[in-house]
Amino acid sequence: MTVQLVTSLGHEAQDYTRRWLPSGEIAVATLPDGTRIRYVKVGRGPDLVLIHTVRTQLYLFQRVIPLLSPHFTVYALDLPGFGWSDLRPEAPKDEPTLRAALRSFIATRGI
């Protein structure tokens, strides 16, 4: 898996996120199947992965991440096809597919 700055998806994503997340990592992880997953990582402590529901994105957590980050290393990601992650029209958006992408993200990030 590769990790790159979110600028590969455009400055809009980073600029908007920095309005509510002044510090921390804003990045894109490329999964083994080539899907790019946008995520934020902030804080320190035990790892905590926040997963949004269908038809939302990681911004759902913008008010809770600052409360959790003093106690946890918080990861929040845009699942494939949502937010600033890759949208592949041919890829299913069902629960097993999204769960597999989440497992892949967790494994490749070493969480």
pLDDT on residue 7: 45
pLDDT in tens, 49-101: 999 887 888 888 999 999 999 999 999 999 888 788 888 888 878 888 889 99
pLDDT at site 12: 78
How many CA atoms does the CB half-sphere of 63 hold within 13 Å?
1
Yes or no: say if 107 and 47 are a contact pair by the CB < 8 Å rule. Answer: no
Identity (one letter) of the amino acid at 41? Answer: K
Percent of the chain with pLDDT over 70: 91
CB atoms within 10 A of CB 18: 12
Residue 81 pLDDT: 85
Q: List pLDDT tens digits, range 5-42.
A: 444 566 777 888 888 888 899 999 999 888 899 999 99
* Residue partners of 12: CB distance under 8 A and separation at least 6: none
Asked if residue 35 lies in contact with residue 43, where contact means CB atoms within 8 angstroms, the answer is no
Cα dist. 104→6, 19, 21, 72 in Å?
A: 19, 29, 25, 21
Q: Global pTM?
A: 0.84
